[in-house]
Amino acid sequence: MSLPRILNDGRVGQIDATQVPRFAGPATFARLPRIDEVSDVDVAVMGVPFDAGVSYRPGARFGPAHVRESSRLLRPYNPAADVSPFASQQVVDAGDLAVNPFDIEAAIGQIEAGARAMLERAGRLVSIGGDHTIALPLLRAMAAKHGPVAVVHFDAHLDTWDTYFGAAHTHGTPFRRASEEGLIDTSGCMHVGTRGPLYSTQDLADDRELGFHVVPSVEIDDLGARGIAERIRERVADRPVYLSIDIDVLDPAFAPGTGTPEAGGMTSRELLAVLRTFSELNLVGADVVEVSPAYDHAEITGIAAAHTVYEILSALAPRKEQP
């Protein structure tokens, strides 16, 4: 049985919530069409259910399904951004990549291959993790298409450490490896929202050498969302931008369902406000990672992540030209 959908100038949108209750129907992201239901794709939302790279609490392999389930209430018009993200571009749910849960190296190769294949069909890719290990193969695919990209990384942690227990690929190392491989434009990268204890001051020194500037969480009250957005614009300018968001950038009050929570983080309102300014940047792709539903309750983290993806899709949506 075909389900009634909202159509926008030939684009296939969400299942019509006035005819099918939000708690019914297929659990695609925001109840959007599957990729096999459309011919052309502007933006693909793809799940990467992998968490073999975590160093503390596991469970992010269940993140994509949880975020999809938490996205059922998303509606077609975003009044804060004054855009209809599903009307001006064809957004689809591309399902989940099937990756090896036992072999990190094999999984990284599978994720890169899957992302490259998806980018051949879709103009842009938004991935839902999964742990932050997935950022490295995603950046390999992005760099293959766009060249080195400026990474704007929202996270409680730097994720530029060298190894854990001798392992070069974990959720704490993707941006060191990306810098070493030349995947990122080291003149335009930054972290936002970092906080908590480090191993030593050498962590920050190494991070600078790898090409990152930092807006730590302790500066957010003084800067506010506008100030953070200005720092980002100054840093990335007109470079192609890849946005990587670890949900633990939010305070555990707003995102308890994550693997390595740290007190003193951003509010969900602050994060969403900053993301709305990405419509002014050359945003080419994004990921939202580290949602671990076993530690969530009342879908608090899932809802925050779903709205984060929604604001990214809104930022990617074409704007009407002003007369």
Q: Give the mean model confidence (pLDDT) for residues 198-202.
A: 96
Which domain covers residue 68, as residue numbers? 5-316
CB within 8 Å of 95: residues ≥ 6 apart = 34, 35, 46, 47
| Residue where the block lists tokens 């840093």 | 235
| Residue where the block lists tokens 């293959």 | 144
User: Would residue 218 count as lying in a domain?
Assistant: yes
Phi-psi region of 204 (alpha: psi -120 to 50; beta: other; left: phi over 0): alpha
User: Would residue 295 count as lying in a domain?
Assistant: yes
Q: CA triplet 89, 91, 93: central angle to 5 degrees?
A: 175
User: Would residue 321 count as lying in a domain?
Assistant: no
Q: How many helices (H) and strands (E) does the chain have?
A: 8, 10
In this predicted structure, the answer to whether residue 113 has a pLDDT above a threshold of 60 is: yes
In this predicted structure, the answer to whether residue 67 has a pLDDT above a threshold of 80 is: yes
Contact by Cβ (8 Å): 175, 151: yes
Report if pTM > 0.95: yes
CATH number, domain at 214? Answer: 3.40.800.10
Question: Quick one: pLDDT at residue 323?
Answer: 44
| Strand order through the sheet with 240-246 | 91-96, 41-48, 122-129, 282-289, 240-246, 150-154, 189-192, 212-215
Which pLDDT tens digit goes with each residue over 203-215? 999 999 999 999 9
The total number of structural domains in the chain stands at 1
Percent pLDDT > 90 in the chain is 95
In this predicted structure, the answer to whether residue 51 has a pLDDT above a threshold of 60 is: yes
User: Would residue 175 count as lying in a domain?
Assistant: yes
DSSP 4: P
User: Would residue 194 count as lying in a domain?
Assistant: yes
Which pLDDT tens digit goes with each residue over 140-190? 999 999 999 999 999 999 999 999 999 999 999 999 999 999 999 999 999
Q: Give the mean model confidence (pLDDT) for residues 229-239.
A: 98
293 closest CA partner among 2, 38, 51, 34: 51
Which pLDDT tens digit goes with each residue over 236-295? 999 999 999 999 999 999 999 999 999 999 999 999 999 999 999 999 999 999 999 999
Chain-wide mean pLDDT for the chain? 96
Question: Quick one: pLDDT at residue 3?
Answer: 83
Percent pLDDT > 70 in the chain is 99
User: Would residue 189 count as lying in a domain?
Assistant: yes
Q: Give the mean model confidence (pLDDT) for residues 304-314.
A: 98
User: Would residue 277 count as lying in a domain?
Assistant: yes
Amino acid, res. 102: F
Extract the tokens encoding 16: 């019509």
User: Would residue 23 count as lying in a domain?
Assistant: yes
In this predicted structure, the answer to whether residue 91 has a pLDDT above a threshold of 90 is: yes
Contact by Cβ (8 Å): 89, 317: yes
In this predicted structure, the answer to whether residue 321 has a pLDDT above a threshold of 70 is: no
Q: Give the mean model confidence (pLDDT) for residues 40-65.
A: 97
DSSP 189: E
The Cα–Cα gap between 182 and 145 comes to: 14
